[in-house]
Structure 1
């Protein structure tokens, strides 16, 4: 049944409530706990939960409370037979006591409910999916869009060039740039890729924990240590990129110096805004489409 009250609907201030819940959670995945670099940090964490863990738990509780109302709106069956006080055949049904017909109907409805297969996801799983969608998808894409538009504002020559490309592809009569138009503009894709190179959505990766003692590059990483690195610095390496701190979209054109660069990491890792290999972001294609679509339409309308 169609959801009648999704948690992201703006009615009744729901949007503001969701934003208020998500805002403190955005830096959590890449924030190191206080004392994470100290040998005794595990002991400290055992004695008193870190503020990071406490904040994450509070965000989870608030998200569950907010999304629960929306999930409840999706669970109603809307079955008229399940409502009380309805009309019965041969009378108005008002002021009458429950009879044999009502009891039989109740048993029939109970048997039908028992025969239904269980829902594929529990309420808590749906809450987590909603939270992941809003947090991991919406915020990262909007952050990337802001960076790209800021770079175009600071580089009017690039903005004019991409505007000319868009107008040549779409003309003046079109209301908006379509998906097909976006796929046919290599310079637009180059602008998006250069934005991802210069300012990936996350400066750090999601933290990982060492499952055993290991040595990497001559450094000992003890079991249980939190491991992270700066993703953005990979794509700002002067040994890999010419003028890495400048915004130069043409480097991602066929004749540019980034020939062979693959954001999936299958052909070597020179940038990894979406991660790489098996654990790459599942929304890569979705994000690339959205970024190209919004950049094209915003440049076309607001140059």
Structure 2
């Protein structure tokens, strides 16, 4: 696993500096008097500074039939909003940018990916009539990305879609149904769909800077409890609300119908956090979550340690 020494240094220094008085120097416009954070040691620097990982806004798209750089096994985040052309956001780009601010029809969206938690979520960017624009703060909490909005400089927990520091503390973003799948699956279902074009940044798109991460024994930049029931910390789980289904169970059963949802696993998607190139990653499969009527439901495929950290009282849906 190739993780930078800068990030390691961030872990050591971050714990010592995780105090609102220190963060005020870097974030003079953030209201630290309002926060849901009770233990500031949980917030550390991930290494890069504010906007050191550059979020994208107003990306370009091309028809999937014209895309020749992305291999069929590579993961994309699929976003299908009723009445609009389906869009695919390749993980090869989100690995290096983590947030895409886009507008689909009349819906402003934030498509997000936190590599350290494998959390891929899409949100509606409207809050009480105001449209927010999100950036990467450079901070981590329980190894999960802390986003910020440029309008109020509030901090947001990506895994929760919730404001944790500043004016937007306690506010929740609407979670939109989206899912990670292999590009071949997206193309087959949406031959007239769109895929995000390559950003105009000098990045080694298609390479994985976290090689071997999702087969590690311990999460990076995380000091919390490990999951219960002997579940490996970096096992993928499918989170729906405050319930989590271990991926090994879903992969073995193929389809699970319980708790009011239908979870379906299909092979073909490469892990974005395994091999040196994303396309060469081992097969981790793709997941769709629907209700009994077949409607896509908001969910996340995240690592077990992150689910336990943010939903410590959550329900583990183990094999029966």
Return the TM-score normalized by structure 2.
0.25
Whose strand fraction is larger, Structure 1's or Structure 2's?
Answer: 2
Return the TM-score normalized by structure 1.
0.26
Whose helix fraction is larger, Structure 1's or Structure 2's?
Answer: 1
